[in-house]
Amino acid sequence: MTGVQERKIRSWWNRFVRRYDAADAEVRLNTRLKESHTLRVCRETLGLGRALGMSPDDLRLAGILALLHDVGRFEQYARYRTFADVKSENHALLSLAILRREGVLQKLSPRTQSIIRRAIRYHNRAELPAVRDRRLLLFARLLRDADKLDIWRLALAYYAAPPGRKNHAISIGLPDLPGVTPEVLEDLREERIVASKNIRSLTDLKLLQMGWVFDVNFVPTLRVMVRRGYLEKMRNVLPADDAARGAHAIVRAYVDRRLAGSPESKECPAHPRLM
pLDDT in tens, 225-239: 999 999 999 999 998
Return the pLDDT at 274: 38
Q: What is the pTM of this model?
A: 0.89
pLDDT, position 171: 55
Please tell me the distance from the alpha carbon of residue 238 to that of residue 244, in angstroms, as a whole number.
6
Q: For residue 171, what is the DSSP state?
A: T
For residue 272, pLDDT beyond 50: no
Q: Is the per-residue pLDDT at 11 higher than 60?
A: yes
Closest listed residue to residue 222, CA positions, set 169, 166, 136, 152: 152
Q: What is the pLDDT of residues 62-109, one digit of tens each?
A: 999 999 999 999 999 999 999 989 899 999 999 999 999 999 999 999
Other Cβ atoms within 10 Å of 231 Cβ, number:
18
Calculate Rg over the CA atoms of the chain: 19
> CA-to-CA distance for 150 and 221, rounded, in angstroms?
11
CATH 1.10.3210 positions along the chain are 3-144
Rounded Cα distance between 235 and 213, Å, is 14
Q: Looking at residue 190, what is its pLDDT?
A: 94
List C-alpha distances in Å: 148 to 11, 109, 182, 254. Answer: 26, 28, 24, 17
Per-residue model confidence (pLDDT) at position 265: 39
Cα–Cα distance measured from residue 257 to residue 263, given in angstroms and rounded to the nearest whole number: 9
DSSP helix/strand/coil, 128:
coil
In angstroms, the CA 127 to CA 146 distance is: 15
The topology under which CATH files domain 3-144 is: Hypothetical protein af1432 (1.10.3210)
